[in-house]
Amino acid sequence: MIYGALEAGGTKMVCAIGDENGKIVDQISIPTKTPDETMPKIIEYFKDKDIKALGIATFGPVDVHPESPTYGHILETPKTAWIGFDLLGCLKDALNVPAGIDTDVNGSLIGEATWGAAKDVSDAVYITIGTGVGGGIISGGKIVHGMLHPELGHMKMVRDSSDNYTGKCPFHGTCLEGLASGPAIEDRWGVSAKELVDRDEVWELESYYIAQAIANLIFIISPKKIILGGGVMHQEQLFPLIRKKVLDNLNGYFKLDELSDIDNYIIPASLNDDQGIMGAIKIAIDAV
Ligand code: ADP
Ligand code: ZN
């Protein structure tokens, strides 16, 4: 059985087909322009693939509530050409197959929870630190949506006393995304994150913010596993720094096995940057 998967991003649309084991059989990438330009290309790709269903993991905000009349529509977004666009309906109509949609970060979390590091974990968080910062939450075995969907990248941060950077988020300035996204790193230090590998102070500060956010999440939702992905997390030296600072933040409050084994508690994404598209395959499987 072949399923269609779309990972809709702000810069590119990844279209793939895969099987019930999450194996990706074929994949292409199409630049994200306007719906008029981009959608026909996506439809063209899936049209003759004989897919059984389609799963979509998309940039947001997006209506992810199946019972809502605007389920699958893109909501208010800086990508103005897409505001109000019925992404799910457009593809469902054109391809005439069952389809489901969730956010890009929930897609990655679903991928990890189905085939990766959060397999069989009932309570997990996935955080991506990339162009933006976002995250998905599984609580009691269910993806958390709530009134919209979590936007944990916009949680408020206590700034490090040495950090005078004003923050990159147009809404909140110094939220987590405003202080710790890839573009925030580049803006603060003047060169791209990749060129800062040897600058210890960069990763000390970066890990300070990520650890603070993770400690907040531990206090609020008590996850059993925390998975970190996205371009910035390719800097593997961040992991030990983050783990140590998380424990510093918790300051001995919890006496838990998970936290004693923190190397297996805060872990990198495990699916080779395919977690998003694999999650979309699972969304397709679930749509049947
Ligand atoms: P997106 O968030 O757009 O889906 P990524 O997760 O790759 O894509 O994030 C892109 C951001 O991550 C950019 O700001 C880039 O500078 C940063 N980035 C990408 N690769 C690395 C790396 N190896 N080390 C540090 N930062 C990186
Ligand atoms: Zn913000």
**Predicted confidence band at 263 (pLDDT cuts at 50, 70, 90)?**
very high
Question: Cβ(152)–Cβ(109) under 8 Å?
Answer: no
Omega of the bond prior to 61 within 30 degrees of 0, cis? yes
Q: Report residue 53 as tokens.
A: 């269903």
**Which of 126, 232, 275, 277 has most ligand 1 atoms within 8 Å of its beta carbon, as the pocket-test mutant?**
232
Query: CB of 194 within 8 A of CB of 182?
Result: no
The beta strands (E) that lie in 189-285 are given as 225-229, 266-268
Would you state the pLDDT for residue 252? 97
Q: What percent of the chain has pLDDT over 90?
A: 99
Confidence of residue 180 (pLDDT cuts 50, 70, 90): very high
| Residue limits of CATH 3.30.420.40 in the chain | 3-104+273-287, 117-268
* Ligand 1 atom nearest to CA at 11: 3
pLDDT range class, residue 3, cuts 50, 70, 90: very high
Within 6 Å (CB) of ligand 1, which residues are found? 9, 11, 130-132, 182-183, 192-194, 230-232, 234-235
195-243 pLDDT, tens digit per residue, is 999 999 999 999 999 999 999 999 999 999 999 999 999 999 999 999 9
For the chain, what is the mean pLDDT? Answer: 97
The residues with which 196 forms a beta bridge, in sequence order, are none
Residue-wise pLDDT for 91-149, tens only, equals 999 999 999 999 999 999 999 999 999 999 999 999 999 999 999 999 999 999 999 99
pTM as predicted: 0.96
What confidence score (pLDDT) does residue 281 get?
A: 98
Atom of ligand 1 nearest to the CA of 128: 6
Here the tokens at position 121 are 């974990």
Q: Can you tell me the mean pLDDT for 180-184?
A: 98
Ligand nearest to the CA of 14: 1
Determine the topology of domain 117-268 in CATH.
Answer: Nucleotidyltransferase; domain 5 (3.30.420)
Ligand nearest to the CA of 189: 1
Which CATH architecture group holds 3-104+273-287? 2-Layer Sandwich (3.30)
Place of tokens 């990508």: 79
* Residue type for position 187: D
pLDDT tens, residue by residue, 93-109: 999 999 999 999 999 99
Percentages helix, strand, coil for the chain (3-state, rounded to 5) are: 40, 20, 40
Q: Quote the pLDDT of residue 78.
A: 85
